[in-house]
């Protein structure tokens, strides 16, 4: 079942596309990583599907309910979103913020239920009960923000750059909270440019650049198709690359930061024999597999942006 689909979704500002014909698919149970550079269109798309902005053209559906259906209002009650930053009062305690959220959403919750939600996101309520939110770390506020969107019973949560500004401990805390809630049946759409963190939690990624969705791929497929490469640091990299090209055994050879990269399931012994037989001195050889960051950079380099 698709939790969110968009069909040719567009948003134009001052004659320029911020989002251009985007068709994306998020299934129930996904942690969908929405990847793109600053200004790529991530936040604009999130604002569209959360109802904070209206599409110029195209459509979207949440849990099968179209954006032009009156029934969407009820569906949104089970969708939580933190766009750009969680909204909370720093002069209030966590429980007071949760009570205010309960009042705003019109969802009646007892103190015990709200405290249970605070604990559900990994916050130690006994330690923070009397502490003002302004004294929380950024990671703690991010987790409290997630608890606040759970007040309405959200099982689809949208997070816009939740890792921004976090220290390493904050990364761990927010990541563990997302994974815990995911194990309990919550579906996530998470936009971020911190690819190393997304790689640790996502089941699927969508890559957007200049408003265009370049690719959607499941993480297992990305890892299955990950491009293995041998990286050679040679004294004369150009000569090493030329020798390997001339051998004809290696379909793809490129330069990466002054080193030779041999892609695919190349025979390392053959690589070494070719280079040593040509008298090329080698400083080091490493075998690497493609990361989400490598894939992202390579995808942007294809020139697919319309």
User: Residue 216: how many CB atoms within 10 A of its CB?
Assistant: 17
Ordered domains of the chain (ranges, CATH): 227-289 (3.30.70.100)
Query: Of 46, 118, 112, 111, which is closest to residue 81 (Cα–Cα)?
Result: 46
CA distances from 80 to 39, 84, 85, 135 (A): 23, 13, 13, 24
19: CB partners within 8 A, 6+ apart: 9, 10, 11, 41, 44, 45, 48, 211
**Residue 227: left (phi > 0), alpha (psi -120 to 50), or beta?**
beta
Q: What's residue 278's pLDDT?
A: 93
184: CB partners within 8 A, 6+ apart: none
The secondary structure of 214-265 as a DSSP string is: EEEEEHHHHHHT--EEEEEEESSHHHHHHHHHHH---S-EEEETTEEEEESS
- Gap between the Cα atoms of 299 and 284, Å rounded: 27
Query: Of 138, 117, 120, 118, which is closest to residue 128 (Cα–Cα)?
Result: 118
- Gap between the Cα atoms of 296 and 306, Å rounded: 17
- Gap between the Cα atoms of 87 and 101, Å rounded: 10
- Gap between the Cα atoms of 233 and 96, Å rounded: 59
Q: What's residue 220's pLDDT?
A: 87
Q: What's residue 256's pLDDT?
A: 86
Indicate if the alpha-carbon torsion angle 273, 276, 280, 283 is positive or negative: positive
- Gap between the Cα atoms of 206 and 62, Å rounded: 17
Query: Of 30, 45, 70, 40, which is closest to residue 203 (Cα–Cα)?
Result: 30
User: Residue 304: how many CB atoms within 10 A of its CB?
Assistant: 12
Tokens for 131? 């502490």
Q: What's residue 207's pLDDT?
A: 94
Tokens for 149? 């969107």
* Count of residues making up the chain: 306
Q: Is the pTM of this model over 0.85?
A: no
Q: What's residue 225's pLDDT?
A: 67
Any idea what the Cα angle at residue 301 is, between residues 299 and 305, rounded to 5°? 80
Q: What's residue 303's pLDDT?
A: 46
pLDDT mean by block of 10 residues, the chain; 306 residues:
95 96 97 93 95 96 96 90 88 97 93 97 95 95 95 94 88 94 96 87 94 94 78 94 93 90 88 94 88 80 51
13: CB partners within 8 A, 6+ apart: none
Tokens for 280? 């090329």
């Amino acid at each position: 079942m698709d939790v969110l689909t968009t069909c040719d979704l567009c948003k134009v500002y001052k004659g320029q596309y911020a989002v251009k014909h985007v068709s994306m698919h998020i299934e129930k149970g996904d942690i969908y990583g929405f990847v793109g550079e600053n200004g790529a269109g991530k936040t604009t798309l999130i604002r569209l599907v959360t109802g904070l902005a209206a599409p110029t053209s195209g459509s979207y559906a949440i849990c099968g309910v179209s954006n032009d259906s009156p029934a969407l209002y009820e569906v949104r009650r089970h969708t939580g979103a933190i766009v750009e930053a969680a909204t909370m009062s720093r002069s209030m305690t966590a429980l007071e913020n949760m009570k205010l959220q309960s009042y705003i959403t019109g969802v009646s919750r007892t103190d015990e239920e709200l405290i249970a939600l605070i604990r559900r996101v990994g916050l130690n309520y006994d330690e923070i009960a009397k502490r003002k939110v302004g004294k929380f770390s950024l990671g703690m506020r991010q987790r409290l923000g997630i608890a606040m969107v759970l007040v309405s019973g959200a099982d689809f949560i949208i997070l816009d750059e939740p890792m921004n500004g976090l220290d390493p401990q904050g990364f761990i805390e927010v990541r563990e909270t997302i994974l815990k809630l995911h194990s309990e049946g919550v579906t996530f759409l998470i936009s971020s440019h911190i690819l190393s963190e997304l790689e640790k939690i996502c089941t699927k990624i969508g890559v957007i650049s200049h408003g265009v969705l370049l690719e959607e791929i499941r993480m297992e497929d990305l890892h299955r198709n990950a491009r293995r490469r041998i990286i050679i640091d040679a004294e004369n990299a150009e000569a090493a690359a030329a020798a390997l090209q001339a051998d004809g055994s290696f379909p793809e050879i490129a330069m990466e930061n002054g080193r030779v990269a041999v892609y695919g399931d190349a025979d390392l012994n053959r690589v070494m024999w070719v280079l040593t037989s040509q008298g090329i001195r080698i400083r080091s050889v490493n075998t690497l597999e493609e990361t989400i960051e490598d894939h992202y950079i390579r995808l942007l380099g294809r020139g697919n942006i319309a």
